[in-house]
């Protein structure tokens, strides 16, 4: 594929996302891209240590080798952990006091994709920091030095840290089905749960980066049909579904229902906040109003954040929050220090013990408001932005959040409109206290934006 210099320039709009890098391997990015990224990150590291790891995709070790070569050539000291789930790399960074991490991963995207998730310092990258790395890659001006290479191992220590953190605290043996999606937690999640006294059924726990059994994104309900069927067939209490790199968790209850992540976050809120009155809890812009209501009821301070793992974790860390959760299945807990799907799993099981309930019983106690899923409307980016501005002006007298698009608050619900960051789409989402109010809010929003009416009637 060559040096990657042309490829970086050719696809800057597609591979440089808001806070990470993602594209089709061999088409959008290649070994040359990885090498240039290594040169840019290594130049920023200024001789400090950088932890590198990769998910299970066939292209990940290839990209990781080129990335490491670039890091070393720019003077960074590299700790190469090989294949490991993303949370384990962050654990290793903290343990080794490294400057940063670069994870080669396509995360929850299909097997043909791959990319890089970068942390420099203690916080995830901002869009501005990623833009600076891109400019460095394009300029070709890098630090010239030779770093030190070390092959490391983290899985045993990471496993031990989880088992020690929860030893003796999971009082109930629960029957669970683990669906790792053939991803990075395929071996680790079942073994840790069994070591802590749980009865585990394995599903899609054969590591395979082609993801032959299901889409690696567990937040897609269509991905979890086999898990739902296995939970019902075996009489398990719950099903646990993870994504490709092991930092997302979605649950299926004992009745085979896929539960939205914001409802599971409520169970953690009820368990954790009574022992930390006044603590801050981060929640997703797309989450149900039930989440901030439960935070306030439990004595906490709700803080709304825009969707996206990097934004959530950065806010969680800078605010010193107790808990953060997103609708995509990311959970960060103060006791862990960052988002970690397996740690969140164990924390949830401990919460169920404290609540004295099965997962199904506990989740059924969480109120539910009528809502819509994400409504993805094909729309050019300029028109999507115009729609957002029209809605801001039309509802200027209403409380609203403008951290990402616009979320308009009504007395009995809310409406959200967001331009997509990587596609020509407008995403709409609605929630209300009743079905009638849900329909009324949608009608009011549509009537308030002539451009939205035009797009819905005639397309883009």
Q: Indicate which residues carry an active-site annotation.
A: 107
Q: Which residue, among 57, 58, 56, 82, has the nearest Cα to 68 in the 3D structure?
A: 82
Q: Give CA separation, 198 vs 238, 341, 342, 343, in Å.
A: 12, 17, 14, 15
Per-position b or e across 95-126, b if 16+ CB within 10 A of its CB: eeebbbbbbbbbbbbebebbbbbbbbeeebbe
3-state secondary structure labels for all residues of the chain? CCCCHHHHHHCHHHHECCCCEEEEECCCECHHHHHHHHHHHHHHHCCCEEEEEECCCCCHHHHHHHHHHHHHHCCCEEEEEEECCHHHHHHHHHHHCCCEEEEECCCCCCCCEEEEEEEECCEECCHHHHHHHHHHHHHCCCCCCCCCEEECCCHHHHHHHHHHHHCCCCCCCCEEEEECCCCCCCCHHHHHHHHCCCEEEEECCCCCCCCCCCCCCCCCHHHHHHHHHHHHHHCCCEEEEECCCCCCEEEEECCCCEECHHHHHHHHHHHHHHHCCCCEEEEECCCCCHHHHHHHHCCCEEEEECCCHHHHHHHHHHHCCCEEECCCCCEEECCCCEECHHHHHHHHHHHHHHHCCCHHHHHHCCCCCCECCCEEEECCHHHHHHHHHHHHHHCCCCCEECCCCEEEEECCEEEEEEECCCCCEEEEEEEECCHHHHHHHHHHHHHHCHHHHHHHHHCC
Q: Do the bridges between strand 113-120 and strand 21-24 make them parallel or antiparallel, or are there none, so unpaired?
A: antiparallel
């Amino acid at each position: 594929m060559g040096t990657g210099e042309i490829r970086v320039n050719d696809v800057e709009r597609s591979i440089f996302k808001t806070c990470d890098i993602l594209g089709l391997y061999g088409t959008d990015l290649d070994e040359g891209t990885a090498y240039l990224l290594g040169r840019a990150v290594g130049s920023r590291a200024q001789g400090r240590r950088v932890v590198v790891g990769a998910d299970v995709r066939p292209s990940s070790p290839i990209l990781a080798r080129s990335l490491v070569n670039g890091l070393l050539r720019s003077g960074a000291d590299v700790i190469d952990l090989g294949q490991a789930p993303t949370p384990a790399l962050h654990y290793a960074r903290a343990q080794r006091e490294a400057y940063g991490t670069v994870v080669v991963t396509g995360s929850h995207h299909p097997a043909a994709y791959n990319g890089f998730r970068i942390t420099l310092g203690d916080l995830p990258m901002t869009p501005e920091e990623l833009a600076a790395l891109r400019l460095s890659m394009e300029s070709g001006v890098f630090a010239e030095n030779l770093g030190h290479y070390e092959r490391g191992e983290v899985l045993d220590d990471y496993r031990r840290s989880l088992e020690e953190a929860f030893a003796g605290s999971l009082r109930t043996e629960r029957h669970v089905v683990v669906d790792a999606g053939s991803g990075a937690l395929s071996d680790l999640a079942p073994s840790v749960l069994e070591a802590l006294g749980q009865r585990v059924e394995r599903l899609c726990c054969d590591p395979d980066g082609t993801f032959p059994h299901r889409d690696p994104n567990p937040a897609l309900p269509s991905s979890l049909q086999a898990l739902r069927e296995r939970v019902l067939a075996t009489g398990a209490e719950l099903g646990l579904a993870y994504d490709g790199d092991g930092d997302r968790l979605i649950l299926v209850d004992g009745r085979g229902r896929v539960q939205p992540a914001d409802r599971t976050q409520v169970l953690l809120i009820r368990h954790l906040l009574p022992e930390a009155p006044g603590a801050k809890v981060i929640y997703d812009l797309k989450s149900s109003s039930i989440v901030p209501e439960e935070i306030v009821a439990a004595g906490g301070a709700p803080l709304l954040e825009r969707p996206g793992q990097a934004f959530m974790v950065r806010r969680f860390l800078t605010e010193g929050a107790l808990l953060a959760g997103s609708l995509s299945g990311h959970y960060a807990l103060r006791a862990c220090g960052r988002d970690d799907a397996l740690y969140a799993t164990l924390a949830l099981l401990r919460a169920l013990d404290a609540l004295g309930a099965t997962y199904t019983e506990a989740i059924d106690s969480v109120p539910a408001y009528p809502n819509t899923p994400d409504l993805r409307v094909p729309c050019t980016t300029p028109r999507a932005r115009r729609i957002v501005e029209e809605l801001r002006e039309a509802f200027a007298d209403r409380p609203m959040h403008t951290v990402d698009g616009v979320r308009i608050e009504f007395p009995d619900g809310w409406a959200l409109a967001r331009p997509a960051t990587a596609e020509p789409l407008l995403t709409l989402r609605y929630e209300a206290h009743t079905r009638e109010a849900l329909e009324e809010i949608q009608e009011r929003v549509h009537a308030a934006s002539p451009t939205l009416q035009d797009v819905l009637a005639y397309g883009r």
